[in-house]
Amino acid sequence: MSTIIMTTISLSIISAAFAFLLTLADRTIGDYGEVKLVINHEKEYIVKGGDSLLSTLRNEKVFIPSACGGKGSCGYCKVQVLEGGGPILATELPFMSQEDLEKNIRLSCQLKVKEDIKIQIPEELFNVREYDGLVESIIDLTDVIKMLRIRLPKGEEINFKPGQYVQLKAPIYEGSTEEVYRAYSIASSPLSKDYIDLVIGYVPQGIATTYVHFHLREGDTVNINGPYGDFYYQDNEREMIMVAVGTGVAPILSILRYMKEMNIKRKARFYFGARTTKDLFMPDFFRELEDSLYDFKFIPCLSREPADSGWDGFRGRVNNAIDQFLEDGENKEAYLCGSEAMINSVVEALKKKGISEDLIYYDKF
């Protein structure tokens, strides 16, 4: 018995000593002091060294897009490092092209600020703002998809292009010990500047989606920043081919609402993919647009609808529908949002119809 007690005491002492050494190392070896951060040759900041460049910028209210919340798995948070930063890390290489490497492009979530550093970022990122918005409503679109309306503080506005996205912060909550940011496309019209709508599907064990679906309530305050993204409505006279599955409908909703409010007279076809009728949401809204927009057709595509259900619409995937209904790609452009597999299959289908790849705009998630 005494041996067990002595062993337990010894292990406790060793653990305490190890924890002390880690704390000491963090305060000494990991203490890089203050360093100078220069952005675009003109904006200078004195910052505490040791954090990632992404976190350091966020602390200075300079927001870089990061769909994975800084986990190094999305590749969105690229910046050009002009001086400092040290050698590129193995975790960054999978996201870098040869051109990126030649320009010393880095993932800001992986790069630690340990010395004076100079970087270059797009000027429009200085227009990104942070908001603490009120959750005005939460609507169940399906069993696993919700639509949030977030009202901005009185007197504040967000200016974005239809198709862009914001980052939503999921705070620490029961079952999650870290704050994370996740990217969600704006579903509302850019003409409504005092609120935004987000369409968020539940991902099992997803930190942000679990927060939204099981912890967030109407009346709560949430933190968002944005807008971001180079996927947005292009103003011209080409026919529009729109394709989305599931929550990928969000940026398409923003574009369609904008077109309606601006009375834009363009021919548009929307292929909306779902598995079954229970996964197909807002059909009445899109049917109404067939009457209120200039020349719009809604084409729902169900890939797993039971044969005996009575569904008389298209059966198959969205790329199959394009194969069947789209005659050619002359004077057309496309807007796609959804999974990588869906995007890739639709891009190939559109290219076969003759649509140039530089006229196919997409947002993968």
Which DSSP helix (H) or strand (E) runs through 117?
Answer: strand 117-120
Q: Answer for the pair 147, 213: CB distance below 8 angstroms, yes or no.
A: no
**Token pair recorded at residue 142:** 């399906």
Kindly list the distances between the CA atom of residue 282 and the CA atoms of 64, 134, 184, 310, in Å, as whole numbers in the listed order: 33, 24, 19, 19
Is there a domain that residue 51 lies in? yes
Q: Give the alpha-carbon dihedral of 185, 191, 192, 195, to 10 degrees.
A: 40
Percentage with pLDDT > 90 across the chain: 83
Domain range enclosing 274: 239-364
* Domain C-terminal end among 125, 153, 183: 125
Residues 360 and 257 in one domain: yes
Output the domain CATH number for residue 39.
3.10.20.30
| Total number of domains in the chain | 3
Task: Convert the pLDDT of each residue in 181-202 to its tens digit.
Answer: 899 999 999 999 999 999 999 9
Question: Of how many residues is the chain composed?
Answer: 365
Same-domain check for residues 355 and 335:
yes
Co-location of 280 and 207 in the same domain: no
- For 76-100, how does the pLDDT look when each residue is reduced to its tens digit (9 = 90+)? 899 999 999 999 999 999 999 999 9
Q: Tokens 């069993």 identify what position?
A: 143
Q: Are 171 and 179 in contact (CB under 8 A)?
A: yes
354 part of a folded domain: yes
pTM of the model: 0.85
Strands 165-170 and 221-228: antiparallel
Q: Which two tokens stand for residue 19?
A: 């924890």
Position 72 scores a pLDDT of 84
Same domain, residue pair 76 and 112 = yes
Name the pLDDT band for 26 (thresholds 50, 70, 90).
very low
pLDDT digit string, tens, across residues 290-313: 999 999 999 999 999 999 998 999
Q: What b/e string do you get for 238-251 counting C-beta neighbours within 10 Å, with b at 16 or more?
A: ebbbbbbbbbbbbb
What whole-number distance in Å separates Cα of residue 268 and Cα of residue 272? 13
